[in-house]
Amino acid sequence: MDTVKKPTSPTRSPDTRAALDTFFRSFGFTQDGDLSLLAEWTLGASGAEPRDALALAQARMEDWLARALGPSHAGGGALLARGRAAFVLCDGARWGAGVLTQGPAPVPVELARAMRASVPVPAPLPLPTPMPEQQLVLWPLGELFRRWWRAGEPDVSISR
């Protein structure tokens, strides 16, 4: 009797894998083994389309970043952006993909401490402000001469 071996991972389109690789490369992962492990961690046994796979990867990374950064940094809508910046700044990819995929186990203390210290400070929201009125001087040398000439006249002040 012949045995048929099933593939261990579901068939995925190359576009899905490319989208996941691009996403995880933005966190600093470059090793093919790490990228494969992260793709498997993201999709599990499902073969999703690139858009769905990317949304799932973002959700999983947000959950992991919320655990790693703690409740003080978990609030706000920019967790993924700020968490990615902290992960890249503290070179979290050197810990390998296993640190992300270890499930509900706690994040290593050294990594969590380094990430919390690397979280960028949020910038204030830009507010509209009035722009000061500007004068266009087409001939700067002539403007300088005019000011010098008028400086000798009484009751004329030079503003600058």
DSSP-assigned states of every residue in the chain: ----PPPSS----HHHHHHHHHHHHTTT---HHHHHHHHHHHHTT----HHHHHHHHHHHHHHHHHHHH-HHHH-STTHHHHHHHHHHHTTGGGG-THHHHSTTSPPPHHHHHHHHHHPPPPPPPP---PPPP----S-HHHHHHHHHHHHTSTT-----
Low-confidence ranges of the chain (pLDDT < 70): 1-12, 45-47, 73-77, 152-160
- Number of domains present in the structure of the chain: 1
For 114, the token pair is 């380094």
Looking at residue 88, what is its pLDDT?
92
Residue 71 falls inside a structural domain: yes
Expressed as residue numbers, the domain containing 84 is: 14-118
Q: How far is CA 97 from the centre of its chain?
A: 18
- The predicted pLDDT at position 159 comes to 58
Q: What is the pLDDT at residue 25? A: 92
Which pLDDT score is estimated for 41?
87
pLDDT at 113: 92
**Chain position carrying tokens 């507010």:** 127
Q: Quote the pLDDT of residue 114.
A: 92
Q: Supply the pLDDT for residue 13.
A: 78
d(CA 26, CA 28): 5
pLDDT at 23: 92
Q: Is residue 41 domain-resident? A: yes
Asked whether residue 143 is assigned to any structural domain, the reply reads no
